[in-house]
């Protein structure tokens, strides 16, 4: 299933000082391989003819797809980019492409019946958390994350396990989004990822 009009998209930028940044936007118009993307906040500088990566949800997967920048608006909001897809969508379900560190944010999760599992990074598709209980790869776990005035509840699947000492393991967890509850968890992960990312960028900007 290809990208649909009205879908949320994320345009990736890489900076030596800020690291990887995902700029949220909307797919406003889709005509075969020609896409018009709309951004409420001004995106980072791009050049005509430049290749970028776009991220979006495709069925149950979070995917990335390369695009070529063909045109851009000079004013806004919304700020508009016209792009052409130049490759196939590839799953980034391993979460290697979209992580945001939560160290220092004090974010914790309840996983199964274990409270205060420290969340070490978060992404649009999942998170990494440290737990004392033992789980195997492929197991689905119940999770609840309180963030601000909301609690996001759902299921995650164990993707990888790394011992961290003290009888604890660091688990790479991929969200399960194919239910109404899962959609709410997905929205929560998106909100947390973008807000924590913006907080980190403000800290970096103020120190420069």
Mark out the alpha helices in the chain (DSSP H runs): 180-207
Give mean pLDDT, residues 157-182: 89
- Tens-place pLDDT, residues 155-165: 998 888 999 98
The C-alpha atoms of residue 208 and residue 203 are separated, in whole angstroms, by 9
The domain defined by 100-207 folds into: Thrombin, subunit H (2.40.10)
- Tens-place pLDDT, residues 75-129: 778 889 999 998 888 776 554 446 788 888 889 999 999 999 999 999 888 999 9
Domain boundaries, the chain: 8-91, 100-207
Does the global pTM surpass 0.75? no
Instruction: Tell me 48's DSSP state.
Output: T
Query: Which residue carries 């995902």 as its tokens?
Result: 22
Q: Could you tell me if 169 and 117 are in contact, meaning their C-beta atoms sit under 8 angstroms apart?
A: no
- Mean per-residue pLDDT over the chain, rounded: 84
């Amino acid at each position: 299933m290809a990208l649909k009009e009205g879908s949320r998209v994320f345009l990736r930028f890489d900076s030596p000082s800020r690291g990887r940044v995902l700029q949220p936007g909307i797919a406003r118009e889709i005509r075969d391989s020609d896409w018009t993307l709309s951004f409420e906040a001004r995106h980072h500088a791009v050049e005509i003819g430049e290749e970028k990566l776009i991220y979006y949800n495709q069925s149950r997967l979070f995917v990335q797809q390369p695009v070529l920048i063909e045109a851009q608006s000079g004013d806004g909001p919304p700020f508009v980019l016209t792009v052409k897809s130049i490759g196939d969508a590839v799953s980034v379900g391993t979460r290697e492409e979209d992580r945001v560190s939560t160290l220092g944010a004090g974010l914790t999760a309840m996983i199964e019946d274990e409270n205060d599992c420290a969340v070490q990074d978060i992404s649009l598709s999942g998170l990494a958390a440290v737990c004392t209980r033992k789980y195997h790869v492929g197991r689905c776990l119940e999770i609840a994350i309180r963030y601000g005035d909301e609690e996001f509840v759902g299921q995650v699947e164990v993707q990888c396990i790394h011992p961290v000492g003290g009888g604890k393991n660091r688990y790479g967890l991929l969200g399960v989004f194919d239910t109404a509850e899962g959609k709410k968890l997905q929205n929560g992960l998106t909100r947390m990822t973008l807000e924590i990312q913006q907080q980190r960028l403000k800290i970096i900007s103020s120190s420069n």
